[in-house]
Chains A and B, each alone.
Chain A
Amino acid sequence: MAAATPLIVLTILLIIAAKTYMGDVPFIVISGGGRAGSGLFYSPGYAAASVFIIIFSMSVLLPVFDLIAQVHGWKIFWKACAIANKQILQSVLLAVAVALLTTTLAFFLAYWINRGRNLPTTLVEYACYVLFSLPATVTGIALILLWNRPETNFIYGRPAIVVIAHIMRFLPFALVICIAGLSGIDRKLEEVYLLAGKDGLRRLKDIILPPAKSSIWVSLAVCFILSLGEVGATLLVVPPGMETLPVRIYSLMHYGANKIVASLGLFLVALSLLCGVTLTLAWRRKWNLR
């Protein structure tokens, strides 16, 4: 646990630096310095894009191609999916629950932080970002120490503890996304509504949620994908009778079932990709703001 302290300190310093230099802007724009045409190819932006493509190819594309090469056909792929169908179902259900709960919590927190902007909101925001610096194993150990008691065993011994672990791990991501989404919604939009004599949940439903829906969908997708692949904290807190797909893959690796492991790994990648592609298509067709 103590080993995580330098990480926490480093995270706090980085948060302070980010807040100092970015303030509360919802996004930053990186431009090629206004140069047009071939000048862009010699700009720092082009160099950065090239480095990104190289890193992306080495860390994402090559491993995925390697997985495909190891699977040796659809038959093995479907056989692996059939073997782990229970784990797939549990993982998807868990990811859906985590995405919904984390995004809901993050949205209300983000609203409070964004509209408050005072000492308590700043402290809560920083505290949430510090969760980001905790390694998965530290999160798992902290949860075991906190919940593994006779009086809280109704949570510790059930899937709820995995949900809590995932919320702890992914809340910072959802919070950043929701704060960015809400920063673009002018407070005056609510004030006009207030003058008309409407307040509370209707204000949220009529005025805040519609413009914020893109950030909510992004947050849901990010939390779903991250939860789908989480293994570090899940391994430590997973209750008896529950096994997620990443945990299953982790167990199978010890038995040397390479083709099955590769197939299930590929299935995880495909599921995440499907989520991302669906969101992008839906966003473009239906939910795109006018």
Chain B
Amino acid sequence: MEFEIEITNLEVHLQGSKVLRGVDLRVLRGEMLVILGPSGCGKTTLLRTIAGFESPTDGRIRIGETIVSDQNVHVPPNLRKIGMVFQDLALWPHLSVDSHLQLVAHENQELISSILERLQLSDKVKCFPSQLSGGEQQRLAIARALVTKPEILLLDEPFTGLDWQLKDESITLIKKIQEDFNITIIYVTHDQFEASKTGERFAIMNDGRIIQVGTLVDLLDKPQDEFVATILNPLKTYNKL
């Protein structure tokens, strides 16, 4: 099997506290892996470390054939071919939709137009983030991540705050993007239902560690411990209903 990302025994300390405590994770090329875990378990820190915004105190991250993070190596974020959508989207308040993409796409107008069209933002090019709806803002953040032509897309709870209908539409859009761009996606969420609709493979995370990785059926049938069983319990109950 070909791994796009291989994380080995990753430890990260932030402001004196151990946030990641030996994370081991392998992400296949072109797959959408969902990381599911409660708030504060280290999901965002894991994504930030993969992106290169945090440095590990121990362990290693390999992307493709290159080691990008360990105690001696730190490949800067812009050389990792990663796009990221933050939980609060981090849109630039002073820039229009068009300028958002122009700024990062090195004025590749053809690519910008195609992504704007695909994400249904073509008629909003002159709008500023404050003039967009919640769903449009999410799509702009995704568009901005895509125009850099990343090989890996990190999504940190990107659809928080959207209603269920919009969430469903957005998840469908993400799946379509993954197929079209043949991109590897790591999708982080604390919402079991959102996770179940999104992913193919799931990594359950708690207290700075990956507890179990597998398909939803595997995890529901053979939870490794009580935490995995508990966090997936709402899905089990829902399926029975």
| Residue in chain A with minimal CB distance to B128 | A290
Does A188 reach chain B (CB closer than 8 Å)? yes
Q: Chain B residues near A289 (CB, 8 Å)?
A: 93-94
A207→B90 CA distance, assembly (Å):
11
| Residue in chain B with minimal CB distance to A191 | B53
Contact of A191 with B104 at beta-carbon distance under 8 Å, contacts A186-B88, A289-B93, A290-B93 already known: no
Contact of A186 with B90 at beta-carbon distance under 8 Å, contacts A196-B103, A197-B148 already known: yes
The answer on a CB contact under 8 Å between A206 and B93 is no
The answer on a CB contact under 8 Å between B77 and A194 is yes
Does B92 reach chain A (CB closer than 8 Å)? yes
Judged by DSSP, the binding face of A is: helix
Interface residues of B in 84-135 (CB under 8 A from A): 84, 86, 88, 90, 92-95, 103-104, 128, 130-131
A72→B176 CA distance, assembly (Å):
79
Identify B148's interface contact among A196, A211, A290, CB under 8 A. A196
Q: Chain A residues near B83 (CB, 8 Å)?
A: 195
Does B51 reach chain A (CB closer than 8 Å)? yes
Q: Chain B residues near A206 (CB, 8 Å)?
A: 103
The answer on a CB contact under 8 Å between B78 and A194 is yes
Judged by DSSP, the binding face of B is: mixed
| Residue in chain B with minimal CB distance to A213 | B94
Identify A189's interface contact among B92, B104, B145, CB under 8 A. B92
| Residue in chain B with minimal CB distance to A290 | B128
A186→B93 CA distance, assembly (Å):
11
Give the Cβ gap from B139 to chain A, nearest Cβ, in Å: 15
Q: Chain B residues near A191 (CB, 8 Å)?
A: 51, 53, 77, 84, 86, 90
Q: Mark A164-195, 1 if CB is under 8 A from B, else 0.
A: 00000000000000000000001011011111
Q: Chain A residues near B144 (CB, 8 Å)?
A: 192
Contact of A195 with B88 at beta-carbon distance under 8 Å, contacts A289-B94, A290-B93 already known: no
The answer on a CB contact under 8 Å between B94 and A197 is no
Give the Cβ gap from B97 to chain A, nearest Cβ, in Å: 12
The answer on a CB contact under 8 Å between B78 and A198 is yes
Contact of A195 with B92 at beta-carbon distance under 8 Å, contacts A188-B86, A290-B128 already known: no
Q: How many residues of A are counted as interface, with CB atoms below 8 angstroms from the partner's CB atoms? A: 18
Q: Chain B residues near A189 (CB, 8 Å)?
A: 90, 92
Interface centre among B53, B79, B90, B148 (most CB of A within 10 A): B90
Give the Cβ gap from B10 to chain A, nearest Cβ, in Å: 19
Q: Chain B residues near A210 (CB, 8 Å)?
A: 92, 94-95
Does A66 reach chain B (CB closer than 8 Å)? no
Identify B104's interface contact among A186, A193, A199, A290, CB under 8 A. A193
Contact of A188 with B90 at beta-carbon distance under 8 Å, contacts A193-B104, A195-B83, A196-B104 already known: yes
A207→B94 CA distance, assembly (Å):
9
Interface centre among A186, A197, A198 (most CB of B within 10 A): A197
The answer on a CB contact under 8 Å between A211 and B93 is yes
The answer on a CB contact under 8 Å between A195 and B51 is yes
Q: Chain A residues near B51 (CB, 8 Å)?
A: 191, 195
The answer on a CB contact under 8 Å between A192 and B93 is no
Identify A196's interface contact among B53, B78, B90, CB under 8 A. B78
A188→B84 CA distance, assembly (Å):
10
Give the Cβ gap from B151 to chain A, nearest Cβ, in Å: 12
Q: Mark B29-54, 1 if CB is under 8 A from A, else 0.
A: 00000000000000000000001010
A211→B90 CA distance, assembly (Å):
13
Does B186 reach chain A (CB closer than 8 Å)? no
Interface centre among A186, A188, A199 (most CB of B within 10 A): A188
The answer on a CB contact under 8 Å between A195 and B148 is yes
A210→B99 CA distance, assembly (Å):
13
A276→B94 CA distance, assembly (Å):
24
A189→B95 CA distance, assembly (Å):
12
List 14 additional contacts besides A191-B53, A289-B93; criterion CB under 8 Å: A188-B88, A189-B90, A189-B92, A193-B103, A195-B51, A195-B77, A195-B148, A196-B78, A196-B148, A197-B78, A197-B79, A210-B94, A211-B94, A289-B94
* CB-CB nearest 4 A-B residue pairs: A196-B104, A197-B78, A188-B90, A210-B94
The contact sample of 7 A-B pairs, CB cut-off 8 A, is A191-B51, A196-B104, A198-B104, A206-B103, A289-B94, A290-B130, A290-B131
- Chain B residues in contact with chain A, CB under 8 A? 51, 53, 76-79, 82-84, 86, 88, 90, 92-95, 103-104, 128, 130-131, 144-145, 148
